[in-house]
Amino acid sequence: MFHAMNLRAALRALAIALFALSPSWASAQTGDPVKVGFSMALTGGVAPNGKQLLAALELWRDDVNAKGGLIGRPVQLVYYDDQSNPANVPGIYTKLITVDKVDLTIGPYATNMIAPAMPVLMQNRKMTIGMLGVNVNREFNYPRYFSMIPGGPEGTLAFSRGWFELAMAQNPKPKSVALVAADAEFGRAACDGARDNAKKAGLEFAYDRTYPPFTTDLMPVARAVQATNPDLVFVCAYPPDTVAFVRASAEIGLNPKMLGGMLVGLFATAIKMQLGPLVNGLVIGESFLPALDFPGLRDVMARYQALAPSRGIDPLGYGYVPFGYAAGQVLAAAVEATKSLDDAKLAEHIHANRFQTVAGDLAFGRDGEWVEARQFFTQFQGVTGGTLDQFRDPAKEPILWPDKYKTGTLVYPYADAKKK
Kindly report, residue by residue over 107-148, the tens digit of the pLDDT: 999 988 999 999 999 999 999 999 998 888 988 999 999 999
Identify whether residues 323 and 251 lie together within a single domain.
no
* pLDDT for residue 14: 53
Q: Model confidence at 17, in pLDDT bands (50, 70, 90)?
A: very low
For 309-348, write each residue's pLDDT tens digit: 999 999 999 999 999 999 999 999 999 999 999 999 999 9
CA nearest 111: which of 85, 87, 135? 135
Contact predicate 55/311, CB 8 Å: yes
- Asked if residue 240 lies in contact with residue 265, where contact means CB atoms within 8 angstroms, the answer is yes
Q: In the prediction, which pLDDT does 12 show?
A: 54
Q: Domain count of the chain?
A: 2
pLDDT tens per residue, range 56-81: 999 999 999 999 999 999 999 999 99
Q: What's 111's domain CATH number?
A: 3.40.50.2300
Beta strands in 10-89, from DSSP E residues, in sequence order: 34-40, 75-81
Same domain, 316 and 411: no
How far apart (Å, rounded) are the C-alpha atoms in residues 280 and 291? Answer: 18
Residue 155 belongs to a domain = no
41 lies in the same domain as 146: yes
Q: Is the dihedral of CA 352, 357, 362, 367 positive or negative?
A: negative
Does 191 lie in the same domain as 76? no
pLDDT tens digits, one per residue of 240-298: 899 999 999 999 999 999 999 999 999 999 999 999 999 999 999 999 999 999 999 99
- pTM of the full predicted structure? 0.88
18 has pLDDT over 50: no
- % of residues, the chain, pLDDT over 90: 84
Does the residue 157 lie in any domain? no
Is 159 contained in some domain? Answer: no
Structural domain includes residue 359: yes
| Residue 51 pLDDT grade (very low, low, confident, very high; cuts 50, 70, 90) | very high
- For residues 24 and 121, membership in a common domain is answered with yes
- Amino acid in the structure at residue 296: G
Whether residue 298 sits in one domain with residue 279: no
Query: In this structure, are residues 39 and 93 in contact, taking their beta carbons and an 8 Å threshold?
Result: yes
Domain co-membership, 179 together with 64: no
Is residue 226 within 8 Å of residue 200, measured between CB atoms? no
- Looking at the fold, whether 273 and 387 belong to one and the same domain comes out as yes
Domain extent for 246: 172-286+381-417
SS3 content of the chain, % helix, strand, coil (to 5): 45, 20, 35
What residue spans of 67-160 are helical by DSSP H?
Answer: 89-98, 111-123
Nearest to 328 by CA among 42, 26, 30, 76: 76
359 and 387, same domain (yes or no): no
